[in-house]
Structure 1
Amino acid sequence: MKAFLALIRREFIEHRGAFLIAPLILVGIVFLLTLLAFSADRLDSRMSGQFLTVFPTWVFEAGFAALASGWLVYLGFVLFFYCADGFAADKRNNSMLFWKSMPVSDLKVLLSKLAAALTVLPAGVFAIALVSILLLFGVAYVTTMVAGLGSAALLGNIALIYAQMTLVFFVVLVCALLWYLPYMALVGAMATAMGRWAIPLAVLLPSIVSALEWVTLGGAHPFSTRTWAYLDYRSQMPVSLDVLEGIWEGERHFEPMSFITDMLARFDWLQMGIGAVFAAVMLYLASEYRRRAYPT
């Protein structure tokens, strides 16, 4: 177990640039730009503070949802490139023989990479995302104080919104990671055999499979097949976007616990289980290729 945890820690150390340092730099730049915008009178702090008190709940809920969505998109991109790069790193940097000499199986090494992609790496982005949103809330509350409209009651409401939305953000993140698990495993398995060529191949593979179905079974066009419909379904976030759009447009009051309960009730647990089995098969095949292609 200690060896497995050490392997996960290695993944975090080797890829902390994309999952920790770069997000921190991004947050710092955005925060400095915000301060400069207020100090240079590009934004009127008094007017902004008055606006925040008109629809305080909506502003903070919508702001949290928008920033959290942006961070989820960022995490999706970096996880894709991590799986395409991290699973091939040992072969690329000539450390394969070193890791082969360790008392750790190829399957355990690949499992540690996938475990890192599901735990510590997204956890780093999640923590920084919360810090960035906290800074946003802090700036928003300070502007209300400048406008002379700040109060203990408003601060308490902001803190409650932050806590509730953090729980929603966490649940959505966990569900998204489990939902896209087969994609991560597939890209990682391809990278184990083909290195960075897995990046373009992962993009082309769905089109190739759908085109083969179209050629053999027919259809209106290559993107009107059961394969493409299934992949389109599995590529969508397991979140009701109608609810989020309603929040951003101010059409409804957001109820975090109702949202979580409804999302978990609608979640396709059967497909998640199928995806987990598929991921396990892909990792096993990749470990067998790694074991046979680079024997000790």
Structure 2
Amino acid sequence: MNNRTLNTLSTLVRRELWESPVAFKWAPLGISALILLFVVFSLIIGGRFDAEMAFTSDMLRQLAEQPTEQRRLIVSGALFSISAIFFQIMLLIILFYLAGSLFDDRKDRSILFWKSLPVSDGMTVASKLASACLLVPALFFGAIVLTHVVLLLIATVYGLLAGVNPIATFWLPASLPRLWSVMLLGMLVQALWLMPIYAWLLFCSSWAPRLPILIAIAIPAGLAIAQHAWTLITNFSLPGFNFGLIMLKRLGSGVLPMSANIEFGGNLQSIEFNEELFMNHATVLGYLGRLEMWIGLAVALLLLFGAVWFRRRATDG
């Protein structure tokens, strides 16, 4: 890939940002603002019942007296839990964006204009995919970092008022470099893990006459129901293989530590809750060695070729 191709792809990705500012820019900032407003509002309401901050100060002092590992689990775990809100909304935005990305050009009849430009259909499809896999996660990651820093600054103010060391109590236990690196790595690997679903949505968006998101859901759901009905009628089944359930499992599992599969023998006490549960680079990178990852990427490649083929033959009708 030469510099000219990269410049073209970068320009097309910026175009996607320009066309979808609400979903890409304002949504993560809005989530951040709502979380911070909720925290500030909760502190204000709590202050009405805790006029001298006796309860709050006591809680902060107890946190400061906890062992280092316990403080890291509490602080970094709280920050990661807040980040889960961003991850879930980000995934919804990406799914709906991809489902309509190629369809909208045909719907508003702008496809002829874009086809008149010296940009290949493959580059257009690649720009949609790059926006979903790189641009949106980068913008949401920036909002997550902003939220974490502001929350720690608020905690610093309350910590100083309570007479505790905010650096030792909040900032160091937060393990921000490690926390952020795991999140960023998780977002990138998650994009690869969900690539077959992303490619499926682009494929449906390239040819669906209307409502591509419903078509993208209806086809695997219909196949899953038909397969289940065939199993009931013929008593023949493929063990562990159901097209619809495979897609749901891949979508639901993800690779971010918050959605990692935890295996235990029906007993929650068998789980060791520590920071390694949600801040482990090896857990995230382990997905790259899974056979399912590479099978999914191969399927995604075929679907992307199909999306380019339909895009090349699309008209404004």
Q: TM-score, normalised by structure 2?
A: 0.80
In structure 2, the partner of 1:265 is 286
Query: Within the alignment, does 1:98 sit opposite 2:113 as a pair?
Result: yes
Residue 246 of structure 1: aligned partner: none
CA displacement at 1:102 relative to structure 2: 0.7
Give the Cα separation in 1 of the matches to 2:75 and 2:271.
Answer: 11
Between the two proteins, what is the percent identity of the paired residues? 23
Match of 1:226, SS state, is coil
Provide the residue aligned with 1:21 in structure 2.
Answer: 26
| Equivalent residue in structure 1 for 2:15, among 4, 10, 16 | 10
CA distance in 1, matches of 2:283, 2:38: 38
Residue 156 of structure 2 corresponds to residue 141 of structure 1: yes
**Tell me, which stretches of 5 or more residues in structure 2 are unaligned?**
264-269
CA contact (8 A) 2:178 2:279 kept: no
Which shifted more, 143-152 or 97-106? 143-152
2-side partners of 1:49 and 1:201: how far apart?
Answer: 52
What are the Cα deviations for residues 225-260 of structure 1, in whole angstroms up to 9, with x where unaligned? 6214533442322343439xxxxx995432489822
State the alpha-carbon separation in 1 of the partners of residues 170 and 35 from structure 2. 23
How far is the alpha carbon of 1:178 from its aligned partner? Answer: 0.8
- In structure 2, give the amino acid aligned to 1:231: M
Distance 2:279 2:73 in 1: 17
CA-to-aligned-CA distance 1:54-105 (integer Å, 9 cap, x gap): 4532221211221222211111111011111222221122211111111112
Over 3 Å counting, the alpha-carbon distance change for 1:156 and 1:31 in structure 2 is closer
For structure 1, the 5+ residue unaligned runs are 244-248
RMSD: 3.1
Distance change >3 Å, CA 16–CA 221, structure 1 → 2: farther
Question: 1:170 aligned to 2:184?
Answer: yes
2:76 and 2:17 map into 1 onto residues whose CA distance is: 31
Partner residue in 2 for 1:112: 127
The correspondence of residues 58-137 of structure 1 with structure 2, limited to 5 A, is: 58-137=73-152
Q: Is 1:230 equivalent to 2:241 in the alignment?
A: no
CA deviations 1:171-215 (Å, max 9, x no partner) are 211121111111011111111212651212222222211122234
Q: Residues 237, 78 of structure 1: CA spacing in aligned structure 2 closer, same or farther, 3 A cutoff?
A: same
CA contact (8 A) 2:185 2:284 kept: no
1:50 is aligned to 2:61? yes
Letter in 1 for 2:191: L
Letter of the aligned partner of 2:205 in structure 1? A
- Residues 263 and 107 of structure 1, relative CA distance in 2, 3 Å threshold: closer
For 2:19, the aligned partner's letter is: E
Q: Find the residue that maps to 2:28 and give its secondary structure.
A: helix
Of residues 278, 281, 284 in structure 1, which corresponds to 2:302? 281
2:113 & 2:202 partners in 1: Cα distance?
20
Within 1, Cα distance between the matches of 2:194 and 2:159? Answer: 40
Residues 103, 263 of structure 1: alpha-carbon distance in 2 compared, 3 angstrom cutoff:
closer
2:59 & 2:38 partners in 1: Cα distance? 16
1:206 alignment counterpart: 220
- Tell me the equivalent position of 1:197: 211
Amino acid at match of 1:260: H
- 2: CA distance between counterparts of 1:57 and 1:276? 36
The size of the alignment, in residue pairs, is: 289
Question: 8 Å contact 2:203–2:307 — kept in the other structure?
Answer: yes
- State the AA in 1 paired with 2:307: A
TM-score scaled to structure 1, two decimals? 0.85
8 Å Cα contact 1:52-1:140 kept in structure 2: no
